[in-house]
A and B are shown apart, each in its own frame.
Chain A
Amino acid sequence: MTKIELLSGNDAVVKAAITAGCKFYGGYPITPSSEIAEGMAKELPQVNGKFIQMEDEIAGIGASIGASLTGAKAMTATSGPGFSLKQEHIGYAIMGEIPLVIVNVMRGGPSTGMPTYPAQSDVMQARWGTHGDHELIVLTPCSVQEIFKLTIEAFNLSEKYRVPVILLTDEIIAHMREKVEIEARSEYKIIDRAKPTVEPENYNPFDTKHGMVPPLAPYGEGYRFHITGLTHDHTGFPTSNPDLVEKLQERLRDKILDNKKYFNWYEERMVDDADIVVVAYGATARSAMRAIKDARLNNIKAGLYRPITMWPFGYENIKKIAKTAKMILVVEMNLGQVKGEVERAVAGTKCKVKFLGKANGELITPAEIGTKIMEVMNV
Chain B
Amino acid sequence: MMRAEIRLSGNGGQGIILAAKVLAEAAGIYANLNVVQSQIYGAAARGELSKADIIIDDGDIYTLEISSADILLCLSQEAYDAHHKEIKPTGIIIIDDFYVQKFDPLDKRILSFSISQMSKDLAGSEMFTNLISVGILTIVGGYFSEENALKAVEKNVPKNFLEMNIKAVNMGFEVAKKKVKQNC
A positions within 8 Å CB-CB of B: 4-6, 31-32, 116, 171-172, 175-179, 283, 286-287, 289-290, 293, 363, 365-366
Within 8 A of A (CB), among B138-168: none
B67 contact set on A, CB distance < 8 A: 365
Q: Which residues of B contact A (CB under 8 A)?
A: 21, 24-25, 28-29, 34-39, 41-42, 60-65, 67
Q: Is the Cβ of A32 less than 8 Å from the Cβ of B28?
A: no
Contact yes or no, A287 B29, CB < 8 A: no
Query: With A6-B35, A176-B37 as given contacts, are A289 and B62 in contact (CB-CB < 8 Å)?
Result: yes
- Chain A neighbourhood of B25, CB < 8 A: 6
Among candidates A6, A116, A289, residue contacting B41 with C-beta atoms closer than 8 Å: A116
CA distance A178 to B27 in the complex (A): 11
The reply to whether B42 and A116 contact each other, CB–CB distance below 8 Å, is: yes
**Dominant SS at the A interface?**
mixed
Could you give 9 example pairs across A and B, Cβ below 8 Å? A32-B41, A171-B41, A176-B38, A176-B64, A177-B21, A177-B38, A283-B64, A286-B63, A287-B62
Known pairs A177-B36, A179-B34; A363 contacts B64 (CB<8 A): yes
Give CA–CA (A107, B7) in the complex, Å: 24
A369 to chain B, nearest CB (A): 11
Residue of A at shortest CB range from B155? A6
Interchain nearest-CB distance for B24 vs A (Å):
6
Q: What distance in Å separates the Cβ of A217 from its nearest Cβ neighbour in chain B?
A: 43
Q: How far is the CB of B68 from chain A (nearest CB, A)?
A: 12
Bound Cα distance A181, B39 (Å): 22
Cβ-defined contact, B63 with A177, below 8 A: no
On chain B, the residues within 8 Å of A172 by CB distance are: 38, 64
A365 with B28: CB separation less than 8 A: no
B2 CB → nearest A CB, Å: 16
Contact B41 A363 (CB under 8 A): no
Q: What is the minimal beta-carbon distance from B54 to any residue of chain A, in angstroms? A: 9
Chain A nearest CB: distance from B148 CB in Å?
A: 13
Closest residue of chain A to B25, judged by CB?
A6
Q: How far is the CA of A175 from the CA of B20 in the complex (A)?
A: 13
One of B37, B42, B63 near A287 (C-beta < 8 A) = B63
Contacts of A290 in B (CB 8 A): 62-63
Task: Identify the closest chain A residue to B65 (Cβ).
Answer: A363
In the complex, chain A residues whose CB is within 8 Å of the CB of B39: 175
